[in-house]
Structure 1
């Protein structure tokens, strides 16, 4: 029984992440999460007594872990900071195209739509920027330049996700790569 409970919990977190990426925080109802996850109706409040905000925090943490893992994978083959930038942006572009331009960042809607989740959002972006910074320093940049590049790449990737979705085109990713992956 415990395996089914934790399975339902994980399915709900994954479903919430997908829905936030597709339609935002406010447009996602808990009933949408239950339907997408195929979890038992009462399990939302059992697993997430803090409600939608608690579920959103867990979805943001899942998204962040995936982004850091993507950065680590991209860095494994990178020989230069530009290689890492290209690989990271390629992963974001590929995920967006695979979703038919429906899924952006799971954390961005929390920043825009919920002041109550500001700390969660800050932790998420800090973890992503820190991961990039660490790899950029390993690839030869000093700490200050590595942090500046990481900040810019994350800002560029987030902007590219939004504009690429609106335009249904990968050209925003091309533009960010042209600037940062020289």
Structure 2
């Protein structure tokens, strides 16, 4: 097993801190000094590990968020008995994260997209890659359950978009009801499409 170096650990800690602060304060509201303090990292470490500064650190945070949610999707797919159950399990896991944070945590990818999508092409591309990393495995799971590739891709896009919107509305309302409603609607839609395609229930 390869042990991470001290520098690698500091770099990872900076990205994790940036991710958490984006979730609570937004991208624009997150300063580099706050990241350094939150990560308990040495001054100057950001530009050592991220020579392009805040933009590079923001990209790393988006990539970290992408990997975390991709893992959540994969775990839901493995543990659930059907695509509908997997979708519900993924939304319920997100609901727990949002609720347990007292609605302070949401999706940092949507935050960065809304704030910086028109300002930074690199950040927009990082957000696009993040969404794609969630849509593609969802589409593959649906396709394996009997849907045609184009329909699976379309439905996966709707599922991810619905979840993203539900997280935003849940935080605004400070209520899990939007996420619970999204879980019901998404699960029903996925089940109907898979049944119509002759897939497994």
TM-score under structure 1 length normalisation: 0.95
Q: Give the total of aligned pairs.
A: 181
* Paired residue secondary structure (1:181): helix
Contact kept, 8 Å, 1:79 with 1:139, in 2: the verdict is no
Structure 2 match to 1:79 = 81
What is the correspondence of 1:1-182 to structure 2 with a 5 Å cutoff? 3-114=5-116, 115-116=119-120, 117-182=123-188
Give CA-to-partner distance per residue, 1:97-134, whole Å, 9 cap, x none.
12111011111121111131111111111111111111
Deviates more, 1:2-11 or 1:119-128: 2-11
Q: Give the 4+ runs in structure 1 shifted more than 3 A.
A: none
Unaligned runs of 5+ in 2: 189-201
1:178, distance to aligned residue in structure 2 (A): 2.0
TM-score under structure 2 length normalisation: 0.86
1:80, distance to aligned residue in structure 2 (A): 2.0
CA distance in 1, matches of 2:77, 2:137: 10
* Paired residue secondary structure (1:169): coil
Deviates more, 1:75-84 or 1:124-133: 75-84
